[in-house]
Chain A
Amino acid sequence: MIEWPLRNFCQARSGDKGNTVNVAVFAPDDVLYDILVRELTADRVKNHFGNWVKGPARRYEVPNLRALNFVLQGALDGGGSRSIRIDNLGKCFGPAILRLTVPIPEKVAQRYKGGPYHEFGGIH
């Protein structure tokens, strides 16, 4: 097993509604999706954002898209028009989550080396 950051193989997009941010993380195949389901808990995601997320975090599984959708309440410093943060709309929560790492079997990792994410410096 090797620890891989999600940026090596996942897509992620975040959006805002009021003071809530949702972050959807997408795995490229079933094996990696199962790893995400096992490893990427709502607590881990909430903790990653520290005091930026003041409310509860909930996780929804979306198997048809091989995605996990995290809903983070109290995450936007009051909401887009009330926040004093630079990223007042939470657009960077998606990318930020890609820092988290999960254990990947070597064999699976090999498949993604040299893939699309390799080219842009994601995979080392």
Chain B
Amino acid sequence: MRNHVVRVAAAQGFYGDSPEAAMAVAQEGNIDYLSFDALSELTLAILAKDQAKNSRMGYTKDLVPTMRSLLPLARRHGFKLLTNAGGINPEAAMNAVWETASQLGLKGMKIAVVTGDDVRSRISDFMEQGILGEDLEDGTPFSTIRQNLLFANVYLGSWPLVQALRMGADVVISGRTTDSAQFMAPLLYEFEWPSDDWSRLSQGVMMGHLLECSAQSTGGNFSGNWWDVPNMDEIGYPIAEVAENGAFVVTKSPQRGGLVTQDTIKEQMLYEIHDPRAYITPDVICDFTTAQIRDLGADHVEITGTTGRPAPNALKMVAGYTAGYMGQALIGYCWPDALKKAEKAASLIQSQIARRQWHYDEIDYAYLGWNSLGGPGVPRPGEELDEVYLRVSVRAKTSEDAAKLGRLFPPLSLDGPPGMGGGAGMQAPRQLLGMWSGLVPRTLVEPHVKVRIEEVE
């Protein structure tokens, strides 16, 4: 008989998240699995740039230090780790973790790596077969972005991770999988759910979805009474206690801050969801509208009832490509007439760009303190603002064109409206990346998915 309840803890919601919460639950040791979601569309782009500079990089730089802290605790308490921090180079990530474990003297620990999500080398193949047509969102033909391609990854599901666990892995490293797969795979392994048990699989996806963004289920980025969230400075990440029938409770370490209520959970339930009746994953298509949430009190919330239907025949591919550069500058104006001064400065910049015949694909003027975050729906302030920052950003074809923008700003301190301070001014140009998404038949991907495992010496 397998474990009655499997405890899966969230360790990371993105590349850059705090390792503190993971360390705390690892030290407490009352978990079976610790799962990381290190990847976003943006992260793959960052890692692709890292790899372009150094072919041995391309995985997250926090992987090794994090594993150095966690692996001894994993051995002591017997929990396993799953992470997609392998990013664009999971093999190199695996070697680095293996080395780390070896240095720590963790003989016999088994490290597995899942590959096959990275399809850069197969793009020509795919194109010949006519499967990379137009972008799912805006119809951009793949052929128009191909020469600027930085990476191309297919979202894998849970089963390759399950295979790694079945091979005895203590640590599973992968590249692009669905975020929820890192959390769901332990359930498929422990409970041996059949691959067509769509309801339990959907409960598993739901659990993963609620854990994959770390504190977003436990009181972080919470739009309800966020001011009542206890000890936000040491917020705990979610832990799921899952039963064999798929019902699960989300909670957190009692030693950490945060809040788990029906209200914090439901916000995450629809985070980055489109049609809630058809949340498509490689393993199952879920219907979130059948889910029931029950607040059990004391930071325990139960979720049951998610249903689903058969997995799709195609997997999603996301390809990142270079798409020009952003230049930006920021300057502040003080009371009185702060907003009017900032608007005057914007009009001066506009005229100067026009007179110099600089061509940008887009120029954006935003006023911090008024509408930079809220956009066109924010009415003009009724009361006079005490200070306003003007931010100008441009979309340019080259880094040089993007950089030019900044030079227009320092002279404004003497040549423009009065009371310019906080001249954060010029900022280095940043490369912009487009994302192209399309569908690839799973029969073209899955035969290439490989799991390799090595024992630490």
Q: Which residues of A contact B (CB under 8 A)?
A: 11-13, 15-20, 22, 24, 26, 48-52, 55, 60, 62-65, 67, 69, 71, 73-74, 77-82, 84-87, 89, 91-92, 94-96, 98-99, 116-117, 119-120
Inter-chain contact A86/B372, CB cutoff 8 Å: yes
- B residues near A120, Cβ cutoff 8 Å: 225, 227
Cβ of B130 under 8 Å from chain A: no
Q: Which of B206-242 contact A (CB under 8 A)?
A: 216, 221-225, 227-228
Question: CA–CA, A94 to B375, complex, Å?
Answer: 12
User: Which residue of chain A has the shortest Cβ distance to B136 in the bound complex?
Assistant: A18
Inter-chain contact A84/B362, CB cutoff 8 Å: yes
Question: CA–CA, A82 to B437, complex, Å?
Answer: 14
Q: Which of B317-359 contact A (CB under 8 A)?
A: 318, 320, 323, 326, 328
Question: CA–CA, A63 to B287, complex, Å?
Answer: 13
A116/B224 contact (C-beta < 8 A), A15-B271, A18-B137 known: yes
B366 is contacted by which of A18, A55, A62, A86 (Cβ under 8 Å)?
A: A86
- A residues near B323, Cβ cutoff 8 Å: 78, 82
The interface on chain B, measured as residues whose beta carbon lies within 8 A of the other chain's beta carbons, has a size of 58
A92 is contacted by which of B271, B273, B373, B391 (Cβ under 8 Å)?
A: B373
- Whole-angstrom distance between the Cβ of B212 and the nearest chain A Cβ: 12
A94/B269 contact (C-beta < 8 A), A49-B375, A60-B277, A86-B373 known: no
A63 is contacted by which of B275, B289, B376, B437 (Cβ under 8 Å)?
A: B289
Main DSSP-derived SS at the B contact region: mixed
Question: CA–CA, A45 to B415, complex, Å?
Answer: 41
A62/B377 contact (C-beta < 8 A), A79-B41, A80-B41, A81-B45 known: no
Inter-chain contact B435/A52, CB cutoff 8 Å: no
Question: CA–CA, A16 to B272, complex, Å?
Answer: 6
Inter-chain contact A85/B138, CB cutoff 8 Å: no
A19/B137 contact (C-beta < 8 A), A86-B372, A86-B391, A92-B374 known: yes
